[in-house]
């Protein structure tokens, strides 16, 4: 590191968490050096050198009011998350999901990072954690081998791995709309029209497809340490199928709430296609992440009604993700227990999901800036989605730790009296949890946000 770097915050990684962290710290008036190894060195899943590139789904999950993912996004919006603003600009139809055009989303983030006077960008691979200053490690689930080895040395623990995966994308004009139809489940869409393209199966078509899927050749791990369990929340389609012949029909191929206009009834099973970009010229197969060989994917997925002539713009693939055993290693402030100047954020910190990664980036960026300004880093109220997420990754069972998305299970349970009063109304219970979370956030900000009086407008 250069002598002039002293007094700056080092952010390692230009993904979702790293960009949010860098922007939050810079917004508080602290100079930031953001390291990103792409495009000098790429990863098995990235295609560009842009900041905030989405490599899996293009959905930031539901915007359904009073759901747990909605609550987390609302908290991030309240805290002026730069990436949530970018997502709003890049939004495309996706029912109640916050679905974005990947290119616009990444472009918005890149412009914000490159245009901030307090952020210096360095395109180089970091293989050693700086021995001085404040550091935010947000290197993501595809952390390079050299940096992962350095993190293992720093924390005194081995790396943990799980497989994550990418769904295929098809060209819109190769979808047979004489077979497929537009609809959103139960008519829930942003503008009243169907935001998804649906490929309906008869029972016989489903059985034929399932047999082909189960017989398809897979890519095998090249090294023994890769032979580990899949992450439960992101199972490959063929793994789900092996759990029973009806498992897919009650999972990613669930037909509930979708009426085929040709029959007026729900199909036996359905594959939903979600718009990929603002041009609407490509669609991804929702929930169809897989580990099949590319030739097998083309053969099997062309058995899906409406995709018999599909042009695949990208096949599904699997990649190995890296994360630390956070409950054993980091504090609720996201600081390393044995070195408080080092923060972890994003999927490497033990969260799963785009919005969750953004959330930890925001927390790490604010807390790193607080530390740089001589202020105690903040712990978010347990009643909030932010507080519950950080509570999980810092207090979960260290022996059986797995990354987690935000769910109501992570938030504090309602008191017995409220549960009894609302025992027959699940929506009301969720609404009450969200109301309490938002009230707790406002109280926290009123009490603590004076620390950000140094915030710089750019």
Give the side-chain half-sphere CA count within 13 A for 62: 13
Mean pLDDT value across residues 130-135: 92
For position 3, what pLDDT does the model report? 41
Q: Does 457 map to a domain?
A: no
Angstrom distance (rounded) from CA 352 to CA 361: 13
Domain boundary among 320, 349, 380: 320
Q: What is the total count of domains within the chain?
A: 2
Give the side-chain half-sphere CA count within 13 A for 305: 22
Which uninterrupted H or E stretch holds 120? strand 119-122
Check whether 451 has a pLDDT greater than 60. no
Q: Does 458 map to a domain?
A: no
Handedness of CA 445, 330, 405, 92 (dihedral sign): positive
User: Does 386 lie in the same domain as 311?
Assistant: no
Share of the chain above pLDDT 90, in %: 67
Check whether 1 has a pLDDT greater than 50. no
| CATH number (domain holding residue 295) | 2.40.30.260
pLDDT digits over 141-172, tens only?
Answer: 778 888 888 888 888 776 566 666 678 999 99
Backbone dihedral angles phi then psi of residue 425, each to the nearest 5 degrees: -135, 90
Average pLDDT, the chain: 88
User: Does 101 lie in the same domain as 21?
Assistant: yes
Mean pLDDT value across residues 405-433: 92
For position 231, what pLDDT does the model report? 64
pLDDT digits over 260-269, tens only?
Answer: 999 999 999 9
Mean pLDDT value across residues 67-78: 97
Q: Does 285 map to a domain?
A: yes
Angstrom distance (rounded) from CA 390 to CA 383: 11
User: Does 140 lie in the same domain as 25?
Assistant: yes
For position 154, what pLDDT does the model report? 85
Q: Does 297 map to a domain?
A: yes
Mean pLDDT value across residues 445-454: 64
Instruction: Name the strands in the sheet holding 312-314, side by side, starting at the edge strand that comes first in the sequence.
Output: 181-183, 196-201, 269-275, 282-285, 169-171, 312-314
For position 386, what pLDDT does the model report? 98
Residue 458 pLDDT class (50, 70, 90 cuts): very low
User: Does 123 lie in the same domain as 13?
Assistant: yes
User: Does 422 lie in the same domain as 404?
Assistant: yes
For position 88, what pLDDT does the model report? 96
Mean pLDDT value across residues 92-100: 91
Domain boundary among 299, 320, 341: 320
Residue 218 pLDDT class (50, 70, 90 cuts): confident
Are the C-beta atoms of residues 21 and 345 closer than 8 Å to each other? yes
Are the C-beta atoms of residues 60 and 86 closer than 8 Å to each other? no
User: Does 196 lie in the same domain as 119?
Assistant: no
| CATH number (domain holding residue 391) | 3.50.50.60
User: Does 148 lie in the same domain as 12?
Assistant: yes
Domain boundary among 268, 294, 320: 320
User: Does 439 lie in the same domain as 313?
Assistant: no
Give residue 441's Cα distance to chain centre.
Answer: 22
Mean pLDDT value across residues 286-311: 94
pLDDT digits over 24-67, tens only?
Answer: 999 999 999 999 987 776 666 566 768 999 887 899 999 999 99
User: Does 285 lie in the same domain as 199?
Assistant: yes
Mean pLDDT value across residues 316-342: 89
pTM score, whole prediction = 0.80
Q: Does 30 map to a domain?
A: yes
User: Does 312 lie in the same domain as 353?
Assistant: no
Domain that holds residue 353: 3-159+324-452
For position 457, what pLDDT does the model report? 32
Q: Which class for 302: exposed (0-12), middle (13-18), buried (19 or more C-beta within 10 A)?
A: middle
Q: Does 332 map to a domain?
A: yes
Q: Does 291 map to a domain?
A: yes
User: Does 371 lie in the same domain as 337?
Assistant: yes
User: Does 258 lie in the same domain as 376?
Assistant: no
Q: Does 335 map to a domain?
A: yes
């Amino acid at each position: 590191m250069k002598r002039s770097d002293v007094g700056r915050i080092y952010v390692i990684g230009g993904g979702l968490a790293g960009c949010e962290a860098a922007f939050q710290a810079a917004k508080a008036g602290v100079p930031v050096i953001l390291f990103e190894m792409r495009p000098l060195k790429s990863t098995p899943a990235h295609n560009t050198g842009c900041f905030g590139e989405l490599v899996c789904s293009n959905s930031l999950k539901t915007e359904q009011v009073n759901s747990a993912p909605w609550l987390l996004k609302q908290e991030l919006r309240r805290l002026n998350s730069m990436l949530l603003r970018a997502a709003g600009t890049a939004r495309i139809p996706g029912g109640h999901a916050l679905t974005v055009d990947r290119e616009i989303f990444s472009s918005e983030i890149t412009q914000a990072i490159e245009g901030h006077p307090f952020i210096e960008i360095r395109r180089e691979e970091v293989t050693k954690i700086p021995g001085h200053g404040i550091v935010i490690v947000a290197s993501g689930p595809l952390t390079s081998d050299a940096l992962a080895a350095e993190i293992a040395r720093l924390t005194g623990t081995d790396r943990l791995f799980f497989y994550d995966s990418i769904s295929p994308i098809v060209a819109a004009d190769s979808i047979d709309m004489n077979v497929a139809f537009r609809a959103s489940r139960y008519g829930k869409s942003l503008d009243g029209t169907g935001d998804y393209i649906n490929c309906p199966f008869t029972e016989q078509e489903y059985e034929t497809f399932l047999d082909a899927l189960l017989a398809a050749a897979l890519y095998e791990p090249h090294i023994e340490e890769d032979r580990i369990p899949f992450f439960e929340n992101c199972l490959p389609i063929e793994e789900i199928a092996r759990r029973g012949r009806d498992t897919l029909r009650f999972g990613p191929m669930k037909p509930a709430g979708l009426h085929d206009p040709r029959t007026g009834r729900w199909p036996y099973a359905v594959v939903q296609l979600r718009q990929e970009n603002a041009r609407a010229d490509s669609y991804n197969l929702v929930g169809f992440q897989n580990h099949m060989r590319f030739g097998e994917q083309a053969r099997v997925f062309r058995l899906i009604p409406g995709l018999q002539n599909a042009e695949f713009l990208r096949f599904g693939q699997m990649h190995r993700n890296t994360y630390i055993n956070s409950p054993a290693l980091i504090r609720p402030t996201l600081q390393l227990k044995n070195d408080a100047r080092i923060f972890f954020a994003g999927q490497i910190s033990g969260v799963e999901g785009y919005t969750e990664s953004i959330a930890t980036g925001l927390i790490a960026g604010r807390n790193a800036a607080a530390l740089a300004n001589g202020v105690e880093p903040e712990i978010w109220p347990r009643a909030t989605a932010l507080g519950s997420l950080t509570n999980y990754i810092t207090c979960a069972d260290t022996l059986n730790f797995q990354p987690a998305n935000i769910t109501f299970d992570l938030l504090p349970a309602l008191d017995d009296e409220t549960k009894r009063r609302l025992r027959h109304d699940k929506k009301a219970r969720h609404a009450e949890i969200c109301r309490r979370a938002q009230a707790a956030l406002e109280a926290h900000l009123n009490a603590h946000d004076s620390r950000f009086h140094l915030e710089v407008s750019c």
